[in-house]
Amino acid sequence: MNSSEVLVVDKLVKYFPVKGGFWRRAHGQVRAVDGVSFTVQPCQVFGLVGESGSGKSTIGRLLVGLYRPTSGTITYRGKMQMVFQNPGSSLNPRRTVGKTLELPLRLHHKGLTRKELRQRVAELLTQVELNPEYANKLPRSLSGGQKQRVAIARALASDPKFIVLDEPTSALDVSVQAKIIKLILELKDQLQLSYLLISHDLSLMRNVADVTAVMYLGKIVEIAPTAELFANPAHPYTQVLLASIPVVSVEEEALKPTKRLVEGEIPSPLQIPQGCSFHTRCPEAMEICTRVAPELLTINPDHQVACHLHGKRGES
C-alpha cells in the first residue's frame, strides 16, 4: 500500500459452502466474490454496481470484518465502518438514539465522562442534521430517513477514515434519497472520508462515484473513472446496464449506447459458466468466451475491462 491509498484489496475471494440433505454436508459452494482487486484513494467515492447477487454486499462485509476472506488480502488505514441498506433493522428498537450512539463512543474513546458523552452525542446528531433532542427518541418514532441519519452518526462515532455504504438510500423514498446523498457527500468533505458505495442504481453512481467498478457473478468486469465508464463503456455487460437507465432528455438518448437487452436470467452463483461468466447472456459472445476467462486489461488510463473483444492485440 503506498502513502496515497486508504484501502488496497488484493485478489479477494469469498466462497460460501452450501449445505443440504440429511447429513447437512457441504455439497458445493457459492462463489460470491471471486478474485477482486481494487484500491481506494483518500476522499474518494469508489462505486460498486451490479445486479443483485453479484457479490457487492459480501465485499462490504469482508472489508469491515463481518466475514473472513477465503483468500486474498484487505489492507487499510484507520477505522472502517458500515452503513446498511435497511436502517429499520440495523437499529435496536429498544435502545434510544442516544444510547445507540454512546456504545461506539465508549468503545473508541475510553474514559469519557457522562457529560462528555452527552456532548459528543449531541455533536454527532448535529453533524447528521438532527436535533440533539433526538437522543431521547426510540427508532420507532423516526422516519426512514431519520433512522438512516442515526445509522450514519453511529458509523461516525468511532472516527472512521472509511465507510462502506451498502445501498444506503434504496430503502428510502425518492425525495429523501437525495437529501441523504447530499449529507453523505458533505460529511466526506468535512471529515476527509473515503467511501465504498454499493448500489444497483447507475444514475446514483453517475452522480456520486469518482470511480465505478461493475461486478458480474463475483468478479469486477470493468472499472474506470465514472465519467469515462459512462462515456465509453467497454464491456458488453456494462453497455447493457447503461442502456437500461431511464432517459430524461433527448440529448441523453442520443448519448446512450445502442439498446440491447440482456438475454436470459443471471446464472446461479452455484454454477458459474466456464470461460467468461457473462458469455451465456452476451450479445457478442465468441467461441473463445466459452473456454477462456478474460483478464482485466487496461484499455485507457485507469480504465480496465475483462472481455475478449478487448484482448491483447494479435491474441484474440
Between 85 and 146, CB nearer to ligand ADP: 85
Residue 120 CB, shortest distance to ligand ADP, in Å, is: 33
Smaller CB separation from ligand ADP, 30 or 234 = 30
What is the greatest pairwise CA distance in the chain? Answer: 70
Taking a C-beta distance cutoff of 8 angstroms, is the pair 97, 157 a contact? no
Is the CB of residue 297 less than 8 Å from the CB of residue 311? yes
Question: Which residues fall within 8 angstroms of residue 239, CB to CB, at 6 or more apart?
Answer: 233, 257, 258, 260
Candidate list 47, 55, 139, 145; residue touching ligand ADP; CB under 6 A: 55
Sign of the dihedral through C-alpha 115, 120, 122, 123: positive
Indicate which single residue of 9, 36, 46, 54 sits in contact with ligand ADP (rule: CB under 6 A). 54
* Under rule CB under 5 A, residue 169 binds Mg ion: no
From the list Mg ion, ligand ADP, none, which binds 219 (C-beta under 5 to 8 Å, kind-based)?
A: none
Among 34, 40, 47, 57, binds ligand ADP (CB under 6 A): 57
If binding is defined by CB under 6 A, does position 56 make contact with ligand ADP? Answer: yes
Q: How far is CA 46 from CA 1, 72, 141, in A?
A: 17, 19, 33
CA distance 220 to 213: 6
- Select 84 or 162, whichever has its Cβ closest to ligand ADP: 84
Applying CB under 5 A, among 57, 148, 199, 238 the residue interacting with Mg ion is: 57
Q: With binding defined as CB under 5 A, does residue 54 bind Mg ion?
A: no
The secondary structure of residue 102, as a DSSP letter, is H
Least Å from the CB of residue 145 to Mg ion: 20
Closest Cα partner for 36 from 215, 277, 205? Answer: 215
Report d(CA 194, CA 42) in Å as an integer.
6
Distance from C-alpha of 234 to C-alpha of 231, rounded to nearest angstrom: 9
Strand-pair partners of 164: 82, 196
Q: Binders of ligand ADP among 252-271, rule CB under 6 A?
A: 269
Q: Which of ligand ADP, Mg ion, none does 16 bind, CB closer than 5 to 8 A by kind?
A: ligand ADP
Residues 9-28 contacting ligand ADP, CB under 6 A: 16
Contact call for residue 58 and ligand ADP (CB under 6 A) = yes
Q: Give the binding-site size for ligand ADP (rule: CB under 6 A).
A: 12
Q: Residues in the site for ligand ADP, rule: CB under 6 A?
A: 16, 30, 32, 50, 52-58, 269
